[in-house]
């Protein structure tokens, strides 16, 4: 099949008529498919079923330090939960605070605290004329929603397969003291599935920000979320790299078990320098007397250690891999060589990123919705929901079954073809 750009107007019109007929047929099927968010499927949630049985009324409810987890106290988290989360991130347990059920809450609180009380004694951001954040894009919509919620100005940084455009990051951070942070999903990034190269991590650690209160928000959400046993991305550990570069306080790292155990009842943690954690805990002690330690104990008793978690994640991979492969198989078979789309092939994470022809993403998403398939809104992967090229679409294969994914991708491909033909005919 020739690339669509090489077709004559007559060929495009004939193709449009054929695709429109196929689309009308698809609409008549009454499909109800949801690929809007990277939610674990019920089969994945069932994997952790045994966690509900590790603690009973008769269980020993004491942590390894003898503390009764049913009581107030232990702001940092019980020692064995600190160790488990530290091992997930590859950091020391002393650099970890285990919090509630979601890393998003910790990120929100960290921004909020910086707004009202500053960072390590610096001026609270709310008292400054301008506060800016760097936002690698395509990126995670909920990160951008947090900074937008607090009125922080967002600057888009282009993503590459090695991570954010570091020339741009270095230049902006070193020249503008109103830039206070950057959002990062360093491993199997949302939505492209890219992992930062060693050089990128080292350049992050060696940044020379104009602002003393500049922080890297390192959301290591997919740190252990591989799709293959024999094909796994690895990244450098940022805390130790920052320490080596003389920037020990420059990073906050976040992770959780939301897509390991239960999406609504996992445990989440932050890792940072002692100075940063001490500063944060001044507010945390006002906010809470202690997070849910029963849930922390439940997780540790069930997984035991990082080896237990890694073995569990391979069970997730066995469920997710066929769904990703179902999508890629259809994209490869139907769109290769047509010149109307490009897509990523991640080794882990929860998403496939699709780049349509410029000016087509919103129309593709709308056509999919009309035929019974909900996708993440076009533009959601950019600050303010504005994709300058209107081309990026995030595909989330986790929630439907592999069979539903194949049907959904067939419909998606049909909509990509139809919208692309319409776009070329307009030109």
Please state the three-class secondary structure of 266-310 as a single string.
Answer: CCEEEECCHHHHHHHHHHHHHHCCCCCHHHHHHHHHHHCCHHHHH
Model confidence at 402, pLDDT cuts 50, 70, 90, reads confident
Quick one: pLDDT band at residue 37, thresholds 50, 70, 90? Answer: confident
Residue 35's pLDDT is 83
What is the arithmetic mean of pLDDT over 66-95?
97
CATH 3.40.50.970, applies to 63-304: no
Count of Cβ atoms closer than 10 Å to residue 49 Cβ: 8
Question: What does the pLDDT average to over 206-231?
Answer: 98
What's the rounded mean pLDDT across residues 272-277?
98
- Per-residue confidence band for 390, with pLDDT thresholds at 50, 70 and 90: very high
Question: What average pLDDT does range 316-335 have in this prediction?
Answer: 96
Over residues 275-289, mean pLDDT: 96
Position 1 pLDDT exceeds 80: no
* Percent of the chain with pLDDT strictly greater than 90: 95
pLDDT band for position 219 (50/70/90)?
A: very high
Given this model, what pLDDT does residue 105 score? 97
**CA-based max dimension of the chain:** 79
Q: What pLDDT is attached to residue 38?
A: 87
Beta pairing partners, 135: 156
| Summary mean pLDDT of the chain | 97
* Per-residue tokens: 141: 């919509």
* Cα distance between residue 333 and residue 337, in whole Å: 10
Q: Angle CA(396)–CA(405)–CA(163) in degrees, nearest 5?
A: 30
- Is residue 33 pLDDT above 90, yes or no? no
Q: Does residue 164 contact residue 109 with C-beta atoms inside 8 Å?
A: no
pLDDT over threshold 80, residue 352: yes
Domain ranges of the chain: 4-44+310-426, 63-304
pLDDT for 16: 98
Of the CATH numbers 3.30.750.80, 3.20.20.70, 3.90.1150.10, 3.40.50.620, which one belongs to the domain with range 4-44+310-426? 3.90.1150.10
pLDDT band (50, 70, 90) for residue 398: very high
| Predicted confidence (pLDDT) at residue 227 exceeds the cutoff of 90 | yes
Question: What is the pLDDT, as a whole number, of residue 141?
Answer: 96
Task: Answer whether 408's CB lies under 8 Å from 326's CB.
Answer: no
List pLDDT tens digits, range 175-213: 999 999 999 999 999 999 999 999 999 999 999 999 999
- Residue 137 bridge partners (DSSP): 158
3-state secondary structure of 156: strand
Task: For the full predicted model, state whether its pTM sits above 0.75.
Answer: yes
């Amino acid at each position: 099949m020739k690339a669509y750009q090489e077709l004559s107007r007559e060929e495009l019109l004939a193709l449009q008529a054929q695709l429109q007929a196929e689309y009308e047929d698809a609409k008549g099927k009454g499909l109800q498919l949801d690929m809007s968010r990277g939610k674990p499927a019920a089969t994945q949630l069932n994997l952790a079923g045994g966690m509900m049985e590790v603690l009973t009324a008769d269980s020993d409810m004491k942590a390894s330090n003898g503390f009764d987890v049913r009581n107030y106290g232990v702001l940092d988290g019980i020692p064995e939960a600190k160790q488990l989360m530290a091992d997930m991130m590859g950091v020391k347990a002393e650099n970890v605070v285990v919090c509630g059920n979601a890393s998003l809450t910790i990120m929100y609180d960290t921004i909020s605290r910086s707004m009202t009380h500053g960072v390590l004694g610096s001026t609270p951001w709310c008292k400054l004329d301008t506060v800016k954040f760097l936002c690698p894009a395509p990126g995670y919509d909920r990160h951008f929603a947090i900074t937008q919620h607090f009125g922080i100005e967002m600057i888009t940084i282009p993503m590459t397969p090695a991570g954010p455009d570091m020339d741009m990051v270095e230049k902006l951070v070193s020249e503008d003291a109103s830039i206070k942070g950057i959002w990062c999903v360093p491993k199997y990034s949302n939505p492209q599935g890219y992992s930062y190269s060693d050089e990128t991590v080292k350049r992050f650690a060696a940044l020379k920000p104009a602002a003393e209160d500049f922080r890297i928000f390192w959301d290591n959400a997919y740190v252990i979320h591989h799709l293959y046993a024999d094909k796994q991305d690895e990244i450098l550990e940022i805390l130790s790299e920052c320490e080596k570069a003389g920037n020990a306080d420059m990073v906050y790292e976040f992770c959780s078990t939301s897509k390991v155990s239960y999406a609504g009842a996992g445990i989440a943690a932050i890792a940072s320098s002692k100075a940063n954690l001490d500063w944060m805990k001044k507010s945390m002690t006002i906010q809470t007397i202690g997070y849910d330690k029963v849930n922390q104990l439940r997780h540790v008793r069930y997984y035991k250690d990082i080896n237990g978690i890694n073995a569990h994640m391979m069970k997730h991979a066995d469920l997710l891999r066929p769904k990703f492969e179902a999508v890629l198989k259809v994209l490869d078979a139907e769109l290769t060589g047509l010149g109307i789309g490009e897509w990523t092939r991640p080794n882990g994470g929860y998403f496939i990123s699709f780049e349509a022809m410029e000016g087509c993403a919103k129309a593709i998403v709308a056509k999919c919705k009309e035929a019974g398939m909900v996708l993440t809104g076009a533009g959601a992967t950019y600050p303010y929901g504005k994709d300058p090229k209107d081309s990026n679409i995030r595909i989330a294969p986790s929630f439907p079954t592999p069979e539903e994914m194949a049907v959904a991708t067939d419909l998606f491909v049909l909509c990509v073809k139809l919208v692309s033909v319409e776009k070329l005919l307009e030109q």
